[in-house]
Amino acid sequence: MTDHLQVAKPDAASAPLLAQDLPLFGRHLIEASAGTGKTYNITRLYLRLLLERELPVQQILVMTFTRAATEELRGRIAETLRATLSQWQQLAKQDPFFSALAQRCDGDKARSLLQAALLEMDEAAIYTIHGFCNRVLSQQAFESALPFEVTMEADVSQLQQQAVQDWLRQISRQQSDYAVLAQHGWHQPEQFIQAFGRELAGDHQLINGFAAYLSDDSIALLTAEYQQQQAAMLTLLAQQQQQILSDLLEPHAPLASSWPDLLAGIAGEAKHYPVKLATAFATFNKYRAKAAAVKPVLQQLKQLTSLAKELVTSQQRQQQARAYQLVIDGIHDIRQAMAAAKQRLALLDYDDLIHRLHNSLASAPDGALSQQLQQQYPVALVDEFQDTDAAQYRIFDVLYPAARDDALLLMIGDPKQAIYGFRGGDIFTYLQARQAANYRWHMDTNWRSVSAMVTSYNRLFWGADLAESAADVFGFGIHYEQIGSTPHAAACKRPLRDPQRDAAMQYVWLAEDDAPAAGADGFHLGLAAWCANEAKRLLAQAQLGGEAIQPQDIALLVRSGREATFVRQALADVGLDAVFVSNRERLFDSPEATELCHALQGIWHCHNNRQLIRALASPLLAFDAQDLINFQQVEFESEFEQARTLVLELRQTWQQKGIMALMLRLLQDHFQPSSSRHERATTNMLHLAEILQQRSRQYKQPQQLLNWLQRQLTLDSAEDDYLLRLESDNALIRIVTQHGSKGLEYPIVFVPFAAKYQDPAKFGSRYIEVYRYQDPESNAAVCQLGQSDLALKQVRLEGHAEAMRLLYVAVTRAEHRCYLGVAPFKDSHKSALGQALAMPNKGDWPSEISQLTAVDSNHSAIISAADSLDLAMSAPQPTAPQQLQAASFKGTIADDWRLTSFSALTRNAHQVRLDQKEHSDPQSELALDAGHDEAPSELRFTLKKGAAAGNLLHDILEHVDFSDANWHAALNGPVQRFGQLEPEQCEDLIDWLEAVLKTPLPDLYDSQRSFCLAQLPWSATLRESEFYFPIASLQKRQLAKLLGQHRAQKEAVILPGDEQLSGMMHGFIDLIFEYQGRYYVADYKSTHMGNRLADYQWQALNLNNQSHYYDLQYLLYSLALHRYLQVRLADYQPEQHLGGVYYFYLRGMSDQHNEEEANYPGVYHRRLDIDLLLALDDLFAEAAEVVQ
């Protein structure tokens, strides 16, 4: 038999699979394209092993990746065995497979073997790969050197969190190292794990892409060279100043006027070098012809500019290299800490199972363990092999050598469906196994979809006309085999009848002019609306198998939760319900978890009026707003006590009958969920009830159970039991992620955003910092920090290939019809769909698609989304009634002492949290547009109003070094936390903030001079400075009087709320900076005042400032700064050191400033009246003296 065994040539073509002819020895790689009957063939091969090789079920090892898949396989195999046993003679006459099997096997013996196999099916060796490893390590503990007392732990996230926290705690002792991590957003455990979780859990090779910059030598040489040329350049410019300026033609006087800025910039540090200005002078082509003497000067200026850029880039990369090396060393330390903790606790996780077994086998390939396993499992069948990683494959490689004639390894999968790289699936392992296989096969008939559907996606992924050579759109040597169709396919039993459309593949084109809004969001809205309207039409007009199409026959496949939101809202707008099947949100992050916690706290602590009222406000008890108001009035005391009596009865139920009895009573008698999420809320509450019932066995006292529930609200557990369940089993339209759709099938599929492109090497408009790729030389998985040509190339190559495979998975879910949404998204020609259609850059989508549909008109068609978009977009949008939600308060209350802030002063709020920051003003954020009807296009005007946007902008500006040209690196963390920006919007955000940093700011003491934030080094700034100062018996009218003097207005200023203040004044100052020896207070405002820069002139800013009492705010902040400087500056004089205030209205700031107009849009500025500030200081000092 060994004569037959040889490794297939790397370029050898595969043969069509016939299960009855496959040799039952050697290594076989079977490519099972979508819908080609993979499970069907697995059961047939299993049957041959039982009957031809007469192996018991305990020796036929079958492995796949999930428990659900193992149970499905077990059931399908048992079903096949029963059918074979009962219909042996009939099948042998009708089916070629069984006919061949009957010729090789004696009928009586076959029946005996089948009966034995069915009796022992519960003992069949059908496992997940991790389950197999766990079984081997447990049964062969001695041979595998595994401790006898070891615990299997699926979720080690808490151990990982603790290890990361310990490491960061050590790093925080070195302020410079911690600051480096903070600059990249990696200084918090959650952020570090989010960025490097895969590396912490794996053994990837870690590379510092900027390692060459770690040495100071090259930087020192560059710095010396720059300083030498800098000095020479300044001397030369001073000598040639008159010649250069006189040779500028008169119309270009503005360039001449910037000469002082050029000299000042060159004289400064390299990182502040005026690159744009120097380039403008050096490349200016309008000097007088006689100025030959100027040209050598300009040439040297070009050289200095180039050297400055090189030096700054090198300095920046050195900083990045140090950060990357710090992370790499940290990952190694955390891995070691995790290993030590597991060893100490005798724990193993899933990955440990794989590595332990592989290490045991690899250390002795011919040892006792290998021999025992080869005898116990002479054959193995690995399902979904394309998702196998390198460590898993190495186990099979040792157990089933290619040269053995008594071993059989069947690797069944589809490389075109390898889409789980993010969780360890490795296409390169599949390719390696393909090269080592003795035989290669492919399944060539689709048993899922109708003929037209099969032909249309054959044409799409063939990359050319089917009569021509394939274009190899999948890359990496993965060739597409044309798939045949059959009239016996499952879908043919229920033919689709649609009076309006015939083609199986429908390309839906949305032109830019037809989109309901500008940019990517317009395409999302338009395509989602069209798909919703088409789904509604299909439900009304089309039929499947002579019956009306049902909602569950329709699926919309998306890439992300954000895309799912667009689709779900569009469906709701036309009155269609849908369920997001792929929702991976945590149950304890849901509002129901918080509401339940509030309700249970109020029930258990019902004598605490505050907690009781909060419980009564929850949907679980559902008292209305008027009841809650009445309960706090003396005249309604009896009604309040009746409510307390009801809650006391619930508390008694909890004590006597347990948490489940309480939950059932609440849900049956009182629960009133919001109509907009009735099913979701009910499902979550029932899920929470089950979990609390399970945990009550461990936490028997109600307070213990409450403590556990409160902890879950703050943790981030990875347990599947704590993920949201599907909210409804009703017949609803399915929304599924493309990753989650693998293995599923639907009669009708929509891929609404098929032409959307996302650059694998970018986050928004900025290049990523962490590059994961397969090194083509070592064939090893690599994680590289910092860009290189190789990393950039490989990440894009692998990312584009995976995007193509994801499109293949999405399209092949369709049985009858697939709609592909197409719009001119940015770089859409680079999308997987664009690549499959060979779209040229800036190509015409309708033209390219029309070329395909002209040849394939029976199977493919193009539709204009504009035809029915208006109808979809005009659908009414029902507004759900607002539901009461209890506000959380975690402070303590003193009757005669309050922690007060500016917000509390002006909004009649009596108490603030110690950590409360005043980043957003709801009143300000609701400011009306200035009456302009034109639709804004810039992000500064379209970014959603409200606290979230304000927090995003503050978060960024708090952490960036204004003077650092690479300030964009600080965007990643805040943008990820914000989570509502498309990649192209990130680029707009960078441009906007770049303009903010370079917006001219008037010098309050020299009207001829201005500066900008970009000129302020980090050392000249303080961010988010927190302050306190005492208040005792301060009358508000005294404060209001001073504010009126500051405004120089005759009308009295009235501050809302109580007349007397006592306690502490507390606040956070967004920015304090020093400029020209003076210190200034600054604040960021994200207020929307209109859609033009003209809406942000000083007069409008002053009105906004006073209407929201921001002038009182900056007086208080200036007082805090004044008191701070009194302590910190030995020679402090307020007239000399206090500068004034700047309020930055970020939406209106622009670097396109015309100094001749003497206006500064978006910049509110004012010098301080020192006498008034000192009077304010005296006012608070007098108040403080009352209590001394």
Known binder of ligand: residue 128? no
* Cβ-count burial 946-981 (b if 16+ within 10 Å, e if not): eebbbbbbbbbbbbbbbbbbbbbbbbbbbbeebeeb
d(CA 1160, CA 464): 58
Element (H, E) at 1064: strand 1060-1075
Which residue reads 């002063």 in tokens?
905
Concatenated DSSP letters of 738-786: TTTTTT--EEEEEETTTT----TTEETTEEPSEEEEE-TTT--EEEEES
Known binder of ligand: residue 37? yes
d(CA 548, CA 537): 11
Known binder of ligand: residue 1088? no
20 neighbors 41 (Cβ within 8 angstroms): no
Q: Residue type at 576?
A: L
Which residue reads 């996302």 in tokens?
758
Which residue reads 């429908």 in tokens?
506
The rounded Cα 587 to chain-centroid distance in angstroms is: 18
* Residues β-bridged to residue 1061: 1034
Sorted by sequence, the CB contacts under 8 Å of residue 1145 that are 6+ apart come out as 1085, 1087, 1089, 1096, 1101, 1104, 1162, 1163, 1164
Torsion of CA 541, 547, 552, 555, to 10 degrees: -50
* Cβ-count burial 431-444 (b if 16+ within 10 Å, e if not): bbbbebbbbbbbbb
Tokens representing 1135 are 């007239």
CB-side neighbour CA atoms (13 Å) of 25: 11
670 neighbors 621 (Cβ within 8 angstroms): yes
* Residues β-bridged to residue 773: 782
The bridge status of strand 484-485 relative to strand 445-446 is parallel
Known binder of ligand: residue 645? no
For residue 482, count other CB atoms closer than 10 A to its CB: 14
Known binder of ligand: residue 36? yes
Tokens representing 898 are 């309050």
Known binder of ligand: residue 39? yes
DSSP SS3 for 1024: strand
1170 neighbors 1115 (Cβ within 8 angstroms): no
Sorted by sequence, the CB contacts under 8 Å of residue 156 that are 6+ apart come out as 338, 342, 347, 349
d(CA 87, CA 70): 26
Tokens representing 857 are 């008109």
Q: Which of 1083, 1131, 1151, 1177 is catalytic?
A: 1083
Residue 669 catalytic?
no
Which residue reads 């979780």 in tokens?
197
Element (H, E) at 728: none
Known binder of ligand: residue 32? yes
* Residues β-bridged to residue 1138: 1079
1082 neighbors 1142 (Cβ within 8 angstroms): yes
Of 665, 809, 679, 671, nearest in space to 736 by CA? 809
Known binder of ligand: residue 35? yes
Tokens representing 796 are 């894009």
1120 neighbors 1027 (Cβ within 8 angstroms): yes
Phi, then psi, of 419 in degrees rounded to 5: -120, 10
Tokens representing 512 are 């830019």
Known binder of ligand: residue 714? no
Which residue reads 């690549």 in tokens?
835
Which residue reads 């986050």 in tokens?
763
Sorted by sequence, the CB contacts under 8 Å of residue 622 that are 6+ apart come out as 670, 671, 672
Phi, then psi, of 1064 in degrees rounded to 5: -135, 140
974 neighbors 990 (Cβ within 8 angstroms): no
Query: Residues at the annotated binding site?
Result: 32-39, 954, 1070, 1083
The catalytic residue positions are 1083
Residues of each annotated binding site for ATP = 32-39
Write out the binding residues for Mg(2+). 954, 1070, 1083
